Amino acid sequence: APAISPPQAMLLLPHWQHSLAVLVTAVTHEEGTYHFTMTAQLDDVQIAYYSSDAREVRPSQEWVAQALDAEYLQEKTQQFWRLEEIFKGDIRRWMKLHNQTGVPPMLSVSRRDNPDGFTTLSCHARGFYLRPIHVSWVQDREDILAETDSSGILPNDIHSYYTQSSLEISPQQEDGHRYACQVEHSSLPEPTLVWGKGRGPLPPGVLAAIVLAVLVVAGAVGAGVVLWRRKSAGKRRSPWSRDVGMSGEWGSPVSPRGNGSSLSTPKERWGRAMGQG
């Protein structure tokens, strides 16, 4: 009997002792072209390959070519033709849906305060297509700043991309300034600014709310001072005013005596004189 090489012997073992992995990749390019590939691995060894350039499944190992006949390889090649056509149809429908201008990115800016006092602002652009995009940083709508770090343009899913740009600023750079990332993409009618959170100039709405709150507090304090002054003035009336009333016989006020004796009506003074007599 002919000798069996180790790779061929692997194919003769029970199937549960092997692992088969098939990786299919479809990549679209900014000019509208695409590239479709397939890689098959048996126990981490590449055994077959397909690409949209060659358009056929080819064995990657000599022992695989001997183990698999031409009819099997042709059957697998036709399967990947169909997959490739499905992929191209999806791309055409997707491009038509977005009118060839692409899909606009979803934008956000996050902030991280570092222990060393510096602040890191990160601009996130997600889900955009076509691939080309430009992200930069501006200070107070004027200065263009160099980014500190960038992720590059990465796949977000099969039809879109993702990128992240970061800017590190010192406490002195942050004081009194605002920072925004500026994004330019074919799907956007003009460059878009996304402002980061910071200690820069307050928006007009917030500033108006603060002024209104100050005026309300000032008005409440002023009303309290007026009320306190009125109460204080009521407690410091003259000695004449405390005995004004119906203390006289005919209801007229009587002046206080200089020797400190209490005030009395004429009738009361007559009574005391008669008692002394």
Q: Which among 18-22, 40-44, 61-65, 126-130 has the top mean pLDDT?
A: 126-130
Beta strands in the chain (DSSP E): 20-28, 34-42, 45-51, 58-59, 106-113, 119-128, 134-139, 143-145, 149-150, 154-157, 160-169, 179-184, 192-195
To the nearest whole number, what is the mean pLDDT of the chain?
74
Between these two residues, 204 and 41, which has the higher pLDDT value? 41
> Are domains 6-97 and 106-195 of this chain identical in fold?
no
Binned at pLDDT 50, 70 and 90, residue 131 comes out as confident
What letter would DSSP give residue 190?
A: S
φ/ψ bin of 235: left (φ > 0), alpha (ψ from -120 to 50), beta (otherwise) = alpha
Q: Which among 41-50, 188-197, 231-240 has the top mean pLDDT?
A: 188-197
Is residue 101 over pLDDT 80? no
Q: What is the pLDDT of residues 25-55, one digit of tens each?
A: 877 665 566 778 888 888 888 888 888 888 8
Look at residue 175 in the predicted model and tell me its pLDDT.
85
So what CATH class is 6-97?
alpha beta
Between these two residues, 220 and 178, which has the higher pLDDT value? 178
Q: Which two tokens stand for residue 57?
A: 């499944």
So what CATH class is 106-195?
mainly beta
Domain spans, the chain: 6-97, 106-195
